Amino acid sequence: MSEQATERKERKGKVVAVQGPVVDVKFNSIEDMPDLHETVKSRSFDKRDIVLLVAEHLEGNIARCVALSSTSNLQRNAVAAASGATVTIPVGDELFGRIINVMGDPIDGKGPITGLKRMPIHRDVSRVAVNVDGLKGAKAEVLETGIKIIDLLFPVVRGSKTGVIGGAGCGKTVLIMELIHNIVDAHEGACVFAGIGERIREGNELYFEFGQAGILNKIMMAFGQMDEPPGARFNVILTGITLAEYLQSTGKEVLLFMDNVFRFVQAGAEISTLLGRTPSETGYQPTLSSEVGAVHERIKGSISAFEAVYVPADDLTDPAVVAIFSYLDAVMVLSRERTQLGLYPAIDPLASSCSNLDANVVSRRHFDLSQELLRILTKYDELRRIVAVIGIDELSKADRTIHERARKLQNFMTQPMFVAEAYIGKKGQYVKKEETLDGVEKIIDGKTDNWPEEELYMIGKLE
Ligand SMILES: Nc1ncnc2c1ncn2[C@@H]1O[C@H](COP(=O)(O)OP(=O)(O)OP(=O)(O)O)[C@@H](O)[C@H]1O
Ligand SMILES: [Mg+2]
């Protein structure tokens, strides 16, 4: 296991080739060769430390490495020393409110983080014994999010994985931020945010948003954003998970937010190409499913995960998206059509799914209402096409009622968000689950039949 590497002493080699983020380091003898996942440290011409991660062993005692930081100004023949350890990050309560990069170095300008215990980010968890006691029919505990459509159709169970999936600009980041805003405050445990390959600006916004909401003291952040080399974007997800595992080991309930898991896969594909591996016929790295699997296998126990997943070209059959899908308990698919209609959050209930929407997890009433809502929306989908051809007046009275109620339900499922105030100019609303159920019940029972449908758009609870 990688921890064994910790015991090896430092060995020196030198850089023999630099190809963008891939660096070859030659060592004197086979004994000196670093292990896979061991870090090798070098310095650029302008005296900047560069950390490399061993990815492959080549002939002639050459270790092919992937850089975790930019390799600009790294020269051939520069001294590179195998550190004897894999990437480790500091862990401890001092990290609350701090932002670290993939290697655990602070990037928030609030001074160094020193004197803490360190944990390796690469760990093999496949042989960790299963805690059998934890498997015995523990009652699922549902976390309220205050977002109507999520509480109704995608109940968030502690320890589950929820995916927010959608094409560019469909509102994934906004929804993840709203979830953080709504649940972190009420949550007794701790949170981790991993920013993977997304905009740097968003990292700043997030930081200030958390500061304003007064939740910085409950959250640890790890960022490997767009501007960083693929090695950083690929591994930062493990940095985030390691923080979550540390918090879990202190007995805390952990919420882990990741934006964006697709970028992790994409960075893996870039690395694979740079290492000269032949892609599989889907165009992705041949190791796609094992990489996605290895990451998700580490998210378990009391860690509840929320993952934003970008869908390239709005194609839900994209192999990367499919690989991630299979590990999620709830999949919320954001639809472009809904964003165009201003129906935020743009979750398409008919394209999404949730294995926790079950009468054993939620109340009978909740389950029945959700199924009735889905039935009405499915029917509406059919009627919509008919109406487009023959007009609404040709529908039977019963169908017209369903059509109208469906539109009202659809509007009621929209909600102004705290973090989206700037976009729609409306104050955010937190709606308790019971209020959501009451509202849905009223609409289904026809109590709002003579309301104009606009009155249900972008509101909180039904007054
Ligand atoms: N709940 C919402 N209410 C109002 N406007 C929203 C909402 N969600 C998203 N938007 C609008 O959509 C835009 C894009 O949202 P967001 O940045 O969350 O998309 P994304 O899916 O994360 O995109 P990308 O894949 O590019 O990261 C926002 O800037 C905002 O204008
Ligand atoms: Mg985004």
Of 83, 97, 114, 118, nearest to 9 by C-alpha is 83
Intervals of the chain under pLDDT 50: 1-6
Kind and range of the H or E run holding 308: strand 303-310
Q: What share of the chain is helix, strand, coil (3-state, %, to 5)?
A: 40, 20, 40
Going along the chain from its start, the domains and CATH numbers come out as: 2-86 (2.40.10.170), 90-120+158-328 (3.40.50.300), 364-456 (1.10.1140.10)
Within a 10 A sphere around the Cβ of 317, how many other Cβ atoms? 7
Told to judge if 59 belongs to the known catalytic residues of this protein, a careful annotator would answer no
Of 88, 85, 84, 83, nearest to 116 by C-alpha is 88
Residue 364 tokens read as 């009978």
Nearest ligand to the C-alpha atom of residue 334: 1
326 Cβ contact list (under 8 Å, min separation 6): none
Res 3: pLDDT? 46
Res 127: pLDDT? 66
């758009």: which residue's tokens?
457
**How do residues 10-40 score in pLDDT, each as one tens digit?**
799 999 999 999 999 999 999 999 999 999 9
CA of 175 to the centre of ligand 1 (A): 8
Question: Distance between CA 438 and CA 447 in Å, rounded?
Answer: 11
Ligand 1 contact via 424 beta carbon (within 6 Å) = yes
- DSSP characters for 222-245? EEE-TTS-HHHHHHHHHHHHHHHH
Ligand 1 atom closest to 202 (CA): 17
Ligand 1 contact via 420 beta carbon (within 6 Å) = yes
302 Cβ contact list (under 8 Å, min separation 6): 158, 159, 189, 248, 252, 253, 254
Residue pair 429/415 in contact by the 8 Å Cβ criterion: yes
Within a 10 A sphere around the Cβ of 34, how many other Cβ atoms? 27
Q: Kindly report the protein residue whose alpha carbon is nearest to atom 31 of ligand 1.
A: 423
Told to judge if 198 belongs to the known catalytic residues of this protein, a careful annotator would answer yes
Res 130: pLDDT? 61
Quote the longest CA-to-CA distance of the chain. 85
**How do residues 235-263 score in pLDDT, each as one tens digit?**
999 999 999 999 999 988 899 999 999 99
pTM of the model: 0.93
Q: Which of 158, 161, 172, 233 is catalytic?
A: 172
Q: What are phi and psi of 442, to 5 degrees?
A: -60, -45
Res 209: pLDDT? 85
Res 294: pLDDT? 93
Burial class from Cβ neighbours inside 10 Å (0-12, 13-18, 19+) for residue 325 reads middle
Q: Kindly report the protein residue whose alpha carbon is nearest to atom 18 of ligand 1.
A: 171
Ligand 1 contact via 172 beta carbon (within 6 Å) = yes
